[in-house]
Chains A and B, each alone.
Chain A
Amino acid sequence: MKGVLYVFLLVGVVFFTSCEPEPVPVIMEGMAAIYADVKDYSAIASGPAREIGELGKIVNVGNTLYINELYQGIHVIDNSDPVDPIFTHFLTILGNTDFTIQGTTLYADNGVDLIVIDISDIENIDVVDVIEDQYSGIEDPFQYRPPNYRGVFDCVNLDEGFVVGWELRTLTNPACFAN
């Protein structure tokens, strides 16, 4: 809170000491949210294995491991030989942090809804049902501030979409501060 005040003060100082009639914008490095339209279910798809980001929840079915990458989707790993596991696919489900599997049906969240996905053909997964607004989404601090970060950031505007990541950017008049 104090941080936010400092930013406002800084803006104020720049404003009042300026000879220009217009306020001079404060430009500085800080974090900004990456938004996604998680309700675009057509974006849910199976693709080739890819590099892992920050991992989340894990599920094992038979010799296959499924592991969430926070807010991005699910890595599929053939673990028939635990000494030499092989990444086979990545299922893109933006906003995803929770999931489970029954038979060939994947139940996964997108931060807001519970999505039912037929994964019997892992190359061509298919959204077969959506239970809308299973989650409020608002309890997740990730939606409000960058995790493990101290400094200024662009305040989140949830009207722009669901926050699926944070990145360092050059910000104009950032009004939020994490300490």
Chain B
Amino acid sequence: MRSLIYFFLILFTFSCTQDSSFLISGNSSGTLSGSYATMLPIDGFLYVINETDIFTYDIADTESPILVDEQNVGFEIESMYHHEGVLFVGSSEALHIFVIQENGIPLRKSETVYNFDNLEEWGSCDPVVADDTYAYVTLRSSTQEGFGCNAVFRVVNELRIYNIENLQEPELLTIRQMDFPKGLAITGDYLFVCEGNLGVKLFDVSDRMDPIEIWSDEGFETFDIILKDGLMMVVGPDAIRQYDYTDINNIEYLTAIEF
């Protein structure tokens, strides 16, 4: 009997350890994805987005996915992020939030339209990451108002932070102008953002109303990022760069993976 208790204790401890490390990544299967992911395996289900819909596959047998649900999300669906049973789906026009029900099927909680002063938006790439309380979105797009000679073009490059304590009504806290924001990753009060051809930046977001840039590494192109227990992997079109961020005040460059 006692050994059985020990067994469960160990099992419990193990699962806790796993959970805490996954807090960093926002995934729960040992698979860490960048913020542009469009497929996520979560607790026996595989979630796949295409341009408009989210599909739920039962992958209890990983080699034989069974479609259990398909639902429309919106237009230009681009990325998906998971945190503690909540799915965040980024599209060019809105942040869509779903809660994963016990049967694995996502239930829509909200759709927060980005609303660029009623300007038409196009050509964007807008990933999202989140923790228990906040969602972080980068918006990068061109907008056009009017047509022909009267057209006014505007380029949007923003980091937005939303309070998501109420998943049904995310509240916009702040908009910070960026240069060329792409993929991002959050760990505690620290937010890493890929800045296109300006490399990667780190923000102290302990004050969510006022993110402060505290570190950057520039001079190369980046678009996405994965954090794994103190190891940061930054992807650009021609290389993967790795850093040790165990000491957030002393981030150490490790290597650039090039063939």
Chain A: residues with CB nearer than 8 A to chain B?
49-52, 54-55, 57-62, 65, 67, 77, 79, 82-85, 87, 98-105, 107, 114, 116, 118, 128-129, 131, 134-136, 139
Contacts and interface: CB of A to CB of B under 8 A. Distances in A.
Nearest to A141: B123
A170 to B, nearest CB: 27
Given A62-B30, A84-B255, A128 B63 contact: yes
B31 A60 contact: yes
Interface stretch (B5-13, B142-150, B153-161, B224-232): B224-232
B173 interface: no
A59 B31 contact: yes
Interface stretch (B34-42, B93-101, B129-137, B212-220): B34-42
A57 B36 contact: yes
Instruction: Name the residue among A51, A60, A128, A136 with the largest chain B CB count within 10 angstroms.
Output: A60
A128 to B, nearest CB: 5
Contacts of B226: 58, 60
B240 A87 contact: no
Nearest to A107: B39
B238 interface: yes
Nearest to A105: B62
Given A85-B255, A116-B65, A100 B41 contact: yes
Interface stretch (B43-51, B111-119, B200-208): B43-51
A102 B30 CA distance: 8
B72 to A, nearest CB: 14
- Chain B interface size band reads 35 or more
A85 B242 contact: yes
A141 to B, nearest CB: 9
B257 interface: yes
A136 B51 contact: yes
A99 B39 contact: yes
B31 A65 contact: no
Given A52-B258, A57-B224, A83-B254, A116 B63 contact: yes
Contact of A60 (B41, B51, B228): B228
18 contacts: A49-B259, A52-B239, A55-B235, A57-B33, A58-B235, A59-B37, A65-B233, A82-B244, A83-B255, A85-B242, A85-B255, A101-B31, A102-B62, A107-B41, A107-B46, A114-B48, A116-B62, A136-B50
Contacts of B36: 57
A157 B39 CA distance: 29
